[in-house]
Amino acid sequence: MPESGSVRCPACRSEHRYTAPSYPCACGAPVVPTLDPDAVPTPVVHRVWQEEWVTVCCGRCGRPGEWPRPEFGCPCGTVLRIPVAGPDTAPTPDGPPSPASNTAPASYGTPDAHAAPTPDGTPAPASPTAAGPAPRRPDIPSVPIRTARDAVTATVLYLRLLGHDDIRRAHRRSPSGIGLAGRGVLALVDPSARPVTSRDVECLWLMSMSESARCLYLTLTGYTPDARERADRLGVPLFLLDLTGTPQPVNAPADALDATRS
């Protein structure tokens, strides 16, 4: 099944080469949606949140993920929605997981059965590895930020690392940014070029209070001093999205929230 192909714009009739984007699965493998060579790209006239996503399963771990539907911007100004043959399992360079990868991990914290006894006949103490090392927090998948859509994708991936797999577009519109909601969480992504103000932080906090959810703010530009002060008082985590799509905590509530990644 193809991951690239020829795209003809129905508006200007020009033909272009298109390659499907690669998205990072939480397991670290790249996930690429499979294009449908028999379907015709359609112009995007108006956007509906439910139609903006496509389900693709990781070819390494089999985990299904909701990813932005592939689009192509023609030089004539037409935005085309690229058909995909999903839901599908995306191939990965490493191929499917081996049978050994599905076996249970070895137990930690138990004595090594092959350890040599001490001179007095007692078992040798377990090694630091066998005693159970501290679990390593997963790396945040990298999503290069080029558009507002990329910023939303990076935020969805980060929220999944925080344990929220039911992320959707928030029902209530925010005065600024793009609202994302899940069970018990409300995130606001601001891809604009202006710094976030204290009023923006207050609006998010009030929305989260009305929905009994914790909230977090993510922006590409930064925060005014007043916004950071107000966020600290209200306990709102503030993050800065860098160009790799990695949320960087910028206040103490954000540091505490980022520590819950698992």
Lowest mean pLDDT, pick from 34-48, 194-208, 220-234: 34-48
Q: How confident is the model at residue 214 (pLDDT cuts 50, 70, 90)?
A: very high
Residue 4's Cβ-count burial label (10 Å; 0-12, 13-18, 19+) is exposed
pLDDT in tens, 142-152: 678 888 888 89
Average pLDDT over residues 160-173: 85
- Categorise residue 148: left if φ over 0, alpha if ψ from -120 to 50, beta otherwise: alpha
User: Could you give phi then psi for residue 140, rounded to 5 degrees?
Assistant: -80, 125
Domain boundary among 43, 65, 96: 96
Q: Are residues 80 and 185 in the same domain?
A: no
Q: In the structure encoding, which two tokens stand for residue 23, read together?
A: 């998205």
Does 73 share its domain with 145? no
pLDDT at residue 176 in the model: 78
Q: How far is CA 69 from the centre of its chain?
A: 14
Domain ranges, residue 146: 141-262
Q: Are residues 262 and 147 in the same domain?
A: yes
Output the domain CATH number for residue 196. Answer: 3.40.1350
Q: In the listed set 74, 96, 118, which residue is the last one of a domain according to the structure?
A: 96
Residue 247 lies in a domain: yes
Nearest C-alpha neighbor of 23 from the set 138, 152, 136: 152
What mean pLDDT comes out for the span 130-142?
Answer: 57
Segment 186-198 mean pLDDT: 91
Question: Per the domain annotation, does 177 fall within a domain?
Answer: yes
| Distances from the Cα of 55 to the Cα of 16, 27, 33, 147, 175, angstroms | 25, 16, 8, 21, 30
- Across 124-134, average pLDDT: 44
> Per mean pLDDT, which of 32-41, 167-176, 200-209 is the most reliable?
200-209
Overall number of domains in the chain: 2
Mean pLDDT throughout 65-83? 82
Q: Say yes or no: 202 and 148 in one domain.
A: yes
Note whether 145 and 257 are same-domain residues. Answer: yes
132 occurs within a structural domain: no
Mean pLDDT, rounded, for 158-173: 86
104 part of a folded domain: no
> Is 71 a domain residue?
yes
Instruction: Tell me: pLDDT of 60 over 50.
Output: yes
Do residue 59 and residue 149 come from a single domain?
A: no
Asked, for residue 129, whether it belongs to a domain, the answer is no
Judgement on whether residues 171 and 259 belong to the same structural domain of the protein: yes
Q: Which of 96, 130, 161 finishes a domain?
A: 96
CA 143, CA 11: separation in Å to the nearest integer?
Answer: 30
State whether 167 and 261 are in the same domain: yes
The whole-number average pLDDT for the span 9-21 is 86
Secondary structure element (H or E) that encloses residue 206, with its range: helix 198-210
Nearest-angstrom CA–CA distance, 71 and 200: 31
In a domain, 154, yes or no: yes
Q: Does residue 240 fall inside a structural domain?
A: yes
